[in-house]
Structure 1
Amino acid sequence: MTDNQRTEPLGIRRRSLLLGGAAGAGALALGVGPLSTPAEAAGFVKGADVSWLPQMEAQGYYWNNSAGAKQDLFTILKGYGITAISLRTWVNPSSDPANGHCGIEETAQLAQRAKNAGMDVLIGFHFGDTWNSVGVQNPPAAWASMAYSQMLDAMYDYVYHSCNVIKYYGVTPAWVKIGNETNSGVCRPVGSVSRPAQMTGLLNAAYDMSKQVFPNTPVLVHLAQPQKLDSIQNFLNAYQDNGGKWDITGLSSYAQGGNVAGVLTNMQTIQSSYGKPVMQVEYGGPVGKPTQVRTALREFIAGLKGFGGLGTFFWEPEGYPSFNAYNSSAWDESTHRPTAAMDGFLDA
């Protein structure tokens, strides 16, 4: 079945929403049966983003466990107490192994694989064709010349369609993340934080369509650099004041050493100020400093648990430096074994 065949016409989608259509409507349209609801989180969530996994495997990369035996990556991660997998998805990505792929079909297939391994899944929308981050929020190329009203329709259709593809593969995400590090807005300039009503409209469209397909799945907004509390408050105040909808505040922090304590204090402030639980959706550190990364991971887990934070995700721990330009990893490429950084999940 092609992606186009999975897309429900815009009028049908909106009519279903207005009539309070059940999430099962998408499943019926796709000819699949009822799907299970997300697993209830049993305490603190320990997770990892492994979106590079299929591209790395295709290039012959592999991973050993701590004993030096080659093993499926999900099996190794579960041995460290990791129960959840975070996966990003882009709209029309290139075929570049490190900076492309992650289209919704590939993402759904990897989500299915994670589910079959007994893992919960977080689906993260970037709303771009490649990386969006705290300093970059470029819309997909196909949306770039759209007016706000057109982009709003595109957002409705894209998220609704994408969630139904995930459902088609038999996966009900435990979480959906709308946007990636959206401190400055989404799909700029149309959805810039300086245009808060439009920013909120776009993100609320994503929220609504996620809930249309997965009504019991919490939806996160995602912000970066909690050490800069003003930046996060600027976004959340604008979003809240314009009727923004979200269930969990996702935060990125790669803080190390003496910076961890201040970041945790700000995370607690964010949680108490807005009445939404906090989840650290990105963490990592230099592959060459594994004990430092382990220590900070322990501190984040203990600190988040202390004020009721929901969990933490290590970003691409399997990402060998020869594959990508990033230095954040938790596997030694010379031995293919996990570094001491991963022990932070066990020791915490």
Structure 2
Amino acid sequence: MDHIGRRAVLKAAGAGAAALALPSLLPATPASAATFVKGADVSWLPQMEANGYTFFDSGGVERDLLTILKGYGINAIRLRTWVNPSNDPSNGHCSIDETAAMAKRCKDAGLPVDIDLHFGDMWNSAGVQNPPAAWANMSYSQMLQAMYDYVFHAMNVIKAGGVTPGWVQIGNETNGGICHPVGSLSKPAQMTGLLNAAYDMVKEVFPSTPVLVHLAQPQNLDGVYAFLDAYRGNGGKWDVTGLSSYASGSNIPGVLSNMTAIQSKYGKPVMQVEFGGRYDRADRTRTDLQTFITGLKKFGGLGLFYWEPEVYSPFNSYGMGAWDPATRRPTTALNGFLNA
């Protein structure tokens, strides 16, 4: 079935499901509001809870994680989604059905969501852009059709849960393109075609939701410009430029300066969709968080998302969370949201 026929079938199915959903939806464009976005990516939360991990507030009272985060002024949640993931707790899950369920939970907590489409079965980042296994041997035209179908379906699954995303990211840290080798940066027309297909399908289901492209390493302006120049030059569509930065201390002013330059050059507002700092240096991370938020506000950046602050050992070895494994309470890092 071509993407037009596929869209018609899915649209009818999605409309029926949506009719049963609660009528109150989250605002589609919180990014355009005066409120600065203070967010957190908590995609590991369902798997942590399923494995018995619990969370206490700073006073030692066990609470739902989203409630604790809201107490720090966090007003949005970011959720990644993979196409056909494994069941590994740390490196799997996050299928669109699981992501939609988590998005509904966030909506019920009054938190808009940023849906991060990785276009892979597991981690894709600046150095790795593997297509889903089911797409690996496709030609460009076949992959284009798969992209239309996948994104349209994914958005309708979200919609059927009664959620309108605050934002949708088409790809994760796509400096080198997506779905290598078909959509790599070295094939800019194909890269742009795939991403535009994703953009169009987000807008087909959620016309008012801002769509982000997401680049890593804003300290390397040439690398960011290489992608955005190729994407814009081939007719690429996007509403917000998402950037990842884990810079610390004296490196932050230079990164903020580059973010300002990126926003100015392309005329798209910037959002820092990933931030983090070493768990064992929580006070420094708090200061870094304050510095980024203050700097972003100065040049009109839309907001910042802390990447997986809730994670703590021994769930996995990630060392940039903001939770104390001994007390299961937040570290001082999160106070950066309150103090900025």
What TM-score, normalized to structure 1?
Answer: 0.93
Aligned to 1:19: none
Alpha-carbon contact 1:108-1:169 (below 8 Å) kept = yes
Match of 1:115 in 2: 107
Question: 1:61 is matched with which residue?
Answer: 53
Q: Number of paired residues? A: 335
1:238 pairs, out of 208, 222, 230, with 230
Gaps of 5+ in 2: none
Match of 2:310 in 1: 318
- Once the two structures are TM-superposed, the CA of residue 97 in structure 1 deviates from its matched residue by 0.1
Name the CA distance, whole Å, in 1 between partners of 2:18 and 2:327: 46
Per the alignment, residue 20 of structure 1 pairs with none
1:124-148 C-alpha deviation (Å, 9 max, x unpaired): 0000000000000000000000000
Q: Is the 8 A contact 2:83 2:96 kept in 1?
A: yes
> For 1:202-217, what aligned pairs fall within 5 Å after superposition?
202-217=194-209
Contact 1:156 1:206 in 2 (8 A): yes
Partner of 1:192: 184
Which string of whole-angstrom CA distances, capped at 9 and with x for unpartnered residues, describes residues 219-241 of structure 1?
00000000011000000000000
- Structure 1 position 337 matched with structure 2 position 324: no
Runs of 4+ in 1 over 4 A off after TM superposition: 13-16, 23-26
CA RMSD of aligned residues (A): 1.7
The residue that corresponds to 1:38 in the other structure is 28
Show CA shifts across 1:63-93 (max 9, x none).
Answer: 1101111111000000000010000000000
Q: Report the Cα offset of residue 42 of structure 1.
A: 4.0
Q: Could you tell me whether the CA contact under 8 Å between 2:80 and 2:99 is conserved in 1?
A: yes
**Structure 1: distance between partners of 2:308 and 2:116:** 14
Deviation at 1:326, TM superposition (A): 1.4
Please give the alpha-carbon distance, in whole angstroms, between the structure 1 residues aligned to 2:47 and 2:60.
Answer: 22
Matched with 1:11 is 4
| Alpha carbons of structure 1 residues 99 and 59: separation in structure 2 relative to 1, 3 Å | same
Residues 156-190 of structure 1: CA deviation (Å, up to 9, x unaligned) = 00000000000011100000000000000000100
Please give the alpha-carbon distance, in whole angstroms, between the structure 1 residues aligned to 2:137 and 2:249.
44
Q: Does 1:139 align with 2:112?
A: no
Once the two structures are aligned, what percentage of the paired residues are identical? 65
Aligned-residue offset at 1:39: 5.5
- Displacement of 1:13: 4.2
Question: Which residue, 198, 211, 218 being the options, matches 1:219?
Answer: 211
**Amino acid in structure 1 at the alignment position of 2:312:** Y
Per-residue Cα deviation, 1:8-33 (whole angstroms, up to 9, x for no partner): 973324679xxxxxx97664243526
- Counterpart Cα distance in 2 of 1:24 and 1:11: 10
Mapped pair 1:271 → 2:258: no
CA contact (8 A) 2:170 2:212 kept: yes
Aligned residue for 1:287?
279
Structure 2 Cα separation of the partners of residues 10 and 240 of structure 1: 24
Distance in 1 (alpha carbons) for counterparts of 2:12 and 2:208 = 15
- Secondary structure of the 2:199 match is helix
Query: Which residue, 14, 22, 28 being the options, matches 2:15?
Result: 28
TM-score, structure 2 normalization: 0.95
Would you say 1:51 and 2:38 are equivalent positions?
Answer: no
**Counterparts of 1:26 and 1:228, CA distance in 2:** 44
SS for the counterpart of 2:204 is helix
Moved more, 202-211 or 35-44: 35-44
In structure 2, what residue type is equivalent to 1:310? Answer: L
CA–CA distance in 2 between the matches of 1:212 and 1:26? 14
- What SS does the aligned partner of 2:105 have? helix
Letter in 2 for 1:10: H
Distance 1:308 1:26 in 2: 40
Deviations along 1:193-225, one digit per CA (max 9) or x if unpaired, are 000000000000000000000000000000000
How far does the alpha carbon of each residue in 1:98-148 deviate from its partner, in whole angstroms, 9 at most, with x for none? 000000000000000000001011000000000000000000000000000
* AA of the residue aligned to 1:338: P
How far apart, CA to CA, are the structure 2 residues paired with 1:89 and 1:205? 17
Take 2:7 and 2:48, find their aligned partners in 1: how far apart are those partners?
Answer: 39
